[in-house]
Chains A and B, each alone.
Chain A
Amino acid sequence: MKNSIGKMLKICLSLLLCLALSGCWNSRELDSLAIVMGYAIDKSDEEGLVDMTAQVAVLSDGGSSDNSSSSSNTASSEAYWNITRTGSSIFTILRDYTHESSRKLYSPHNQVIIFGNDLAKNGIRDYLDFFLRDHETRLNVWILVAKDKASDILDVKPKLEKIPAIGLSDLIEDQKATSETVQIRIRDFLERLISDTTASIAPLVEVIGEGKDQIVEMSGTAVFKQDKLVGELNKTETRGLLWVLSKVNSGIITVEAPGGTADLEIVSTETQVNVEILDDGSITAHVKITESGNIGSQTGSGDLSKTDNVKILEQNMNDAITAEVFSAVEKAKELDADIFGFGDMFYKKYPQQWKSMKENWDELFNEIKVEVEVDAKLRGSGRIVKPAYPAEEE
C-alpha cells in the first residue's frame, strides 16, 4: 500500500515537471510580444547616428480570419505600426523602443532588413553585427538596399498584402521568375563580407509613384566594395551576374526570329566557371553556360518548328546571353568590384600563386579576360507548333 502511494507521488512529480518545459525566466506569451516584420536603417541627420524603423505587426484581437469581413475597423486600424528612433547603434535603438512600445520587440519573425542609400555608402558592417550576434535574429532574413531612404519603403502599403515587410519578402521570392534581381539573405551577405576579394551584393528597391498609387519596385542590384555601397547594376547586368553565379532560375529573353521576334523562356540552366593563369601570366575566366528553354510566344509568321529556324533561335539566344554576361563584366570592372567571386576561384585553384595575387587583385581583376561559351537549347514550343496564320501553299 505504502509502495503504491509512493509510486503515485513519483508520477505526479514527474507530471509537474512538464510545467517547466516552457522555460521559467524566459517564457513570453504571444500577447506580450511586438512581433517585428522588418527593419529599415537610415543615416540620421545628426552626425554619426542612425535612424532605425521597426515594423511591428499589429495582431487583431478577434482572430485574424474575420478581420477583413468586419467593416467596423477598416481605415482606422492598420495591420502594422512603424516605430522610428534615433541612436548610435542598433542595439541601443532596439532597447530604446521600449520608451514608445508597450511590448518588447521580438525579432525571430523578421523578414527584411533594408539599408538606406546614404548609410550603405558609409559602410554597413557595424550595423550588421547585432543581427549576426543576437540569439533572437535569424540568419535567413533578406537584405535590401533602398535607392533613397529605407524607411520610405516600409511606409508603402502593398496592394495585396496587409503588412509592407511581408509584401516585400514575397516580392523577393517572386524574383525567381525573371532572374533580374539577386536574392540575398544575411547569410549570403556575410559570406561575401568575410571574403578577401569578393564584393557583396544586395537587391535594390525603390518607391515609385505618388500618394495613394505608390508601389515598391525591385530595380537591380547594389554593389558593395567591402561593406560600402559603390554602385549598382541594372536588370540586364544583374542577370548577366546571375548567369555567372549559376543562379538564373527562369526568365524571358526576347530574340529576333525569322519573320519577327520570339520570347524564349529560360527553363533550366547550369554554369561552370573555370579560371586559369596562362603561361604569360595573364588570367582568364572561362564561363560555360548550358541553358535549355521553351518558346513562350512569337510575333510574325516564321515556322519555328523547322530545324533550321530552331538553330537560328538558339544562336540568337547564345548571343543574347553572352551579351548579358559581358554587360555585367564591364560594369563590374568599371566599379572595380569582383562581384563574381573570381578571386575566390583563383584562391581555390591556385592557392600558392594567390598569395601574391591577393595584394593587387583590384588591378588583376580589371585585366581578367572573360570568355563566355553558351550552349542554349530549345526544348519545347508550347501547345502550338506554328503561329496562327492561314496555311501556305508550298
Chain B
Amino acid sequence: MDIATHKGTITNKQLLLAVACFIFGSTLQSSFSIGVTKQDTWIVVITGFIVGAIVALICLTLSSKFPGKTIIEINEIVYGKVIGKVVSSLYIFVIFSSVYLNTRDVGNFIVRDTMPQTPLAAILIIFIFVCAFAVNKGIVAIVRLGFLFFLLYIIALIISIILLLNNMNFSYFSPSFTLPIMNYVQGTHIIGLIPFGEVYIFMMIYPSVDKNCKVKKSVLSGMLIAAIAMLIIAIRDWSVLGSTATIFKLPTYQTVSVIEVGETLSRAEALFSISFVVLLFFKISVMYYALMIAFAQIFNIKSYKPLTYIVGIISICLSILIYDSVSENAYFAPNIAPTYVTFFAVVLPILALLIAKARGIGRKRGCT
C-alpha cells in the first residue's frame, strides 16, 4: 500500500461517522466553556457549530482545490519546496501537540476520577501503545471502529438521558442572553475551535476517501450530528446540575454520577467513563495517524510504520512534562488552545487559498 497517496480506501459514510466520533471524543472537554457561558452554554454550542462549520468549509475548499493531496503536500505546491516544508513543520508541531495534550486529558481523567494512586505514566504508556497499534493498522482499520463507537456513544447518551429525566429542571436555563457579550464570543470561540475546528486535522485524511466529491457533505453532516449530540449534552448537564456545574472540573462526569434509580442502580459513572475513554482513543488515533502521515510526507519516507512507536514514546514524555499543575491545564485549554487552532485551521488555509489563486494553481471548481 502506497502510504503517500493512500487513495480510495474510506467510504463517505465511514468518514461521516469518523468526523462525528472525532468530535464526540471532545465531550469531556466541552465543559471548558461552561464556566464562561453558564446557563447559555447551549447557545454557544449552536453558534460554535456555525463557526466550526465555516472553519471546516475553508479547509474543505482548500482540499478540494488539490484533490488527492494532504495539507502537507498542498503546502509544498503552494509555497514552494522550502517555505512549504517550514509551514508543514508548523502543522506537525500543532498536530503533535494536539496528540499529547489529548493524551494528557485521558491520563488526567483516569487518574483523577478512578485510580488516584496510579502513576500517570502507567496509564499513558498503555493508552498510547494501543493507539500506536491502531495507527500501524492504518486509517481504514481506525475508521471502521467508528460505527461501533458511534453506536456505543449514542446508546450511552440515550440511556443517561432516560435515567436522568427525573433530575432535570429546566428552570435553571432562565434568564437567557443576560451575560456580557464577550462571554458569548469567548464561549463560541472555545466550542467552535476546540471540538469542531479540530476537524482541520482531517485534511490529512481526505485523500484517502473513496469518492472525493462528496467529502464536503459527509464532513458537514458528521459535524451536524455531533453538534446535536453536544447540544443535548449541554442541556442535560445544565438542567441536572444547574449553577453547581460551574464549580466542577468535569460537569459531564458529575452529571452521570447523579444517576440513581432506586437503591440498585447508582454509581454508574464508571460505565459511562468507558465511553469517554473509548471515544478519546478514537480521536487520538485519528490525530496520531494524521501526524504519522505528515511525518512520512515531509521526510519523503515510504512507510511511517517504523516511526510510530518512537513518536508514541515521545508524546508520552511530552504529555507528562507539558503541565506542572492542574491549573495550568485548566488555564491553557480554554484560553490559549483555541487561538492555536485559529491560526492553523483558519489563517493558514485562507493564506494558502489566496496564494493559490494569485499563482493560478489548483483546480478551479468542483468535482467531476
Binding site for B on A (CB under 8 A): 20, 23-26, 108, 132, 135, 138-140, 187, 190-191, 194-195, 347-349, 351-352
Besides A23-B118, A349-B175, A351-B175, 5 more A-B contacts (Cβ < 8 Å) are A26-B115, A135-B112, A139-B258, A191-B243, A351-B178
Question: Complex: how many Å from CA A132 to CA B248?
Answer: 9
A138 shortest CB reach to chain B, Å? 7
A347:B175 contact, CB within 8 angstroms: yes
Question: Complex: how many Å from CA A349 to CA B171?
Answer: 10
B181 is an interface residue with CB less than 8 A from chain A: no
Binding site for A on B (CB under 8 A): 112-119, 122, 126, 171, 174-175, 178, 242-244, 246-247, 254, 257-258, 260, 266-267
Complex contacts, A195 vs chain B, CB 8 Å:
243
Question: Complex: how many Å from CA A6 to CA B114?
Answer: 35
Complex contacts, A139 vs chain B, CB 8 Å:
254, 257-258
Q: Nearest residue in B to A194 (C-beta to C-beta)?
A: B243
6 closest Cβ contacts across the A-B interface? A351-B175, A351-B178, A348-B174, A25-B118, A25-B117, A26-B115
A70 shortest CB reach to chain B, Å? 27
Q: Given A139-B258, A351-B178, A191 and B244 touching (CB < 8 A)?
A: yes
A26:B118 contact, CB within 8 angstroms: yes
Complex contacts, B113 vs chain A, CB 8 Å:
135
A140:B171 contact, CB within 8 angstroms: no
Question: Complex: how many Å from CA A326 to CA B149?
Answer: 55
Complex contacts, A132 vs chain B, CB 8 Å:
247
Q: Nearest residue in A to B110 (C-beta to C-beta)?
A: A23
Count contacts between A and B, CB distance < 8 Å: 51
A26:B175 contact, CB within 8 angstroms: no
A91 shortest CB reach to chain B, Å? 14
Pick the contact of B171 from A20, A24, A348, A352 — CB < 8 Å?
A348
A169 shortest CB reach to chain B, Å? 10
A386 shortest CB reach to chain B, Å? 40
Q: Given A138-B257, A140-B260, A349-B174, A25 and B244 touching (CB < 8 A)?
A: no
Pick the contact of B244 from A20, A138, A187 — CB < 8 Å?
A187
Pick the contact of A135 from B116, B122, B174, B267 — CB < 8 Å?
B116
Question: Complex: how many Å from CA A190 to CA B258?
Answer: 14
Complex contacts, A351 vs chain B, CB 8 Å:
175, 178
A349 shortest CB reach to chain B, Å? 7
Q: Which of B112, B246, B247: most chain A CB closer than 10 A?
A: B247
Question: Complex: how many Å from CA A24 to CA B174?
Answer: 46
B178:A187 contact, CB within 8 angstroms: no
Question: Complex: how many Å from CA A139 to CA B266?
Answer: 11
Question: Complex: how many Å from CA A139 to CA B254?
Answer: 9
Q: Given A24-B122, A25-B118, A140-B266, A194 and B258 touching (CB < 8 A)?
A: no
22 contacts between A and B (CB under 8 A): A23-B115, A23-B118, A24-B118, A24-B122, A25-B117, A25-B118, A26-B114, A26-B115, A26-B117, A132-B247, A138-B267, A139-B254, A139-B257, A139-B258, A187-B258, A190-B244, A190-B247, A194-B244, A195-B243, A348-B175, A351-B175, A351-B178
Complex contacts, A138 vs chain B, CB 8 Å:
257, 267
Question: Complex: how many Å from CA A57 to CA B80?
Answer: 73
Question: Complex: how many Å from CA A318 to CA B247?
Answer: 41
Question: Complex: how many Å from CA A352 to CA B176?
Answer: 12
Q: Nearest residue in A to B249 (C-beta to C-beta)?
A: A133
A10 shortest CB reach to chain B, Å? 12
Question: Complex: how many Å from CA A191 to CA B254?
Answer: 14
Q: Nearest residue in A to B39 (C-beta to C-beta)?
A: A348
A108:B258 contact, CB within 8 angstroms: no
B238 shortest CB reach to chain A, Å? 12
Q: Nearest residue in B to A347 (C-beta to C-beta)?
A: B175
Q: Given A24-B118, A25-B117, A108 and B267 touching (CB < 8 A)?
A: yes
Q: Nearest residue in A to B254 (C-beta to C-beta)?
A: A139
A300 shortest CB reach to chain B, Å? 41
Question: Complex: how many Å from CA A346 to CA B200?
Answer: 44
Question: Complex: how many Å from CA A20 to CA B123?
Answer: 11
Q: Nearest residue in A to B177 (C-beta to C-beta)?
A: A351
Question: Complex: how many Å from CA A36 to CA B243?
Answer: 29
Pick the contact of A140 from B118, B126, B258 — CB < 8 Å?
B258
B116 shortest CB reach to chain A, Å? 6
Q: Nearest residue in B to A348 (C-beta to C-beta)?
A: B174
Question: Complex: how many Å from CA A187 to CA B266?
Answer: 15
Complex contacts, B178 vs chain A, CB 8 Å:
351-352
Question: Complex: how many Å from CA A351 to CA B180?
Answer: 12
B95 shortest CB reach to chain A, Å? 29
Question: Complex: how many Å from CA A191 to CA B244?
Answer: 6
Q: Given A139-B258, A348-B174, A26 and B116 touching (CB < 8 A)?
A: yes
Question: Complex: how many Å from CA A28 to CA B217?
Answer: 50
A378 shortest CB reach to chain B, Å? 28
A130 shortest CB reach to chain B, Å? 14
Complex contacts, B119 vs chain A, CB 8 Å:
25
A255 shortest CB reach to chain B, Å? 32
Question: Complex: how many Å from CA A135 to CA B113?
Answer: 6
Complex contacts, A194 vs chain B, CB 8 Å:
243-244, 246-247
Question: Complex: how many Å from CA A138 to CA B243?
Answer: 18
Question: Complex: how many Å from CA A135 to CA B258?
Answer: 14
Question: Complex: how many Å from CA A153 to CA B119?
Answer: 40
Question: Complex: how many Å from CA A43 to CA B68?
Answer: 72
Complex contacts, B117 vs chain A, CB 8 Å:
25-26
Question: Complex: how many Å from CA A138 to CA B242?
Answer: 17
Question: Complex: how many Å from CA A25 to CA B266?
Answer: 25
Complex contacts, A348 vs chain B, CB 8 Å:
171, 174-175
Question: Complex: how many Å from CA A190 to CA B241?
Answer: 10
Question: Complex: how many Å from CA A187 to CA B243?
Answer: 11
